[in-house]
Amino acid sequence: MPEELVHIRMIRRDLEDIPQYPLPQQYTVRCYEPGFERHWLDIHLAADKYSPISLELFVKQFGTDHQLLSQRQCYLADAQGYFFATASAWFDDETFGQRIGLLHWLAILPDMQGKGLSKPLLTIVLNRMRKLDHKWAYLRTATVRIPAINLYRKFGFVPHIRSPEELKIWSSLQHKLKAPLDKYRELSDNASTSIKRHET
């Protein structure tokens, strides 16, 4: 039986002291250009076995403003022009009642996973988010994505826990995680309160 897909959220209380992992020289960062939707589709179809990926989903998630996409959507490619990873320094105007940075739709092709490239990609996207004047960031993921959750913890994201039910979900993951849950509820609640007071 496939593992149940339970959606969870994580939050980073500031965008200071972002871990800096350099991208190996044989790879390049490419910002979105019209037509890159196809690269996004190919990467996610291969890497994401849990979501129904389509070009319609791309438009639903990102819209069609090419200038906005060029500022916020990043890709990694090799010297031969092989696109193998993507993530977006996106934003959310609704969840916290005001604009906050959103680490959105990160994926790496299976044949490029395990090479330490997710860390440089996260560095690039969070740096971009900070350059775009976001003060906070959050992300949405799922309980089945344990390697991703552990990666996000290394980059300073903590569980965003808003209810006893969500605390129970995170507690059930504890034995799979590399960092303890101590005080995560307090950190998460304080972050949410501070965002509502200070994010503009």
**Residue 73 resides in a domain:** yes
**Residue 175 resides in a domain:** yes
Q: Out of 5-14, 59-68, 175-184, which region has the weakest mean confidence (pLDDT)?
A: 175-184
**Residue 133 resides in a domain:** yes
**Residue 57 resides in a domain:** yes
> Can you tell me the distance from the alpha carbon of 136 to that of 12, in angstroms, rounded to the nearest whole number?
6
Name the domain count of the chain.
Answer: 1
Mean pLDDT to the nearest integer, 57-78 = 98
**Residue 81 resides in a domain:** yes
**Residue 1 resides in a domain:** no
Residue numbers of the domain that contains 97? 7-198
**Residue 33 resides in a domain:** yes
pLDDT of residue 46 exceeding 90, the answer is: yes
**Residue 136 resides in a domain:** yes
Q: Between β-strands 7-12 and 27-31, what pairing exists: parallel, antiparallel or unpaired?
A: unpaired
Q: What is the pTM of this model?
A: 0.89
pLDDT of residue 178: 83
CB distance 139 to 103 below 8 Å: yes
pLDDT of residue 198: 46
Q: Domain holding 65: CATH number?
A: 3.40.630.30
φ and ψ at 183, to 5 degrees?
A: 65, 10
pLDDT of residue 177: 87
CB distance 12 to 186 below 8 Å: no
Mean pLDDT to the nearest integer, 86-103 = 94
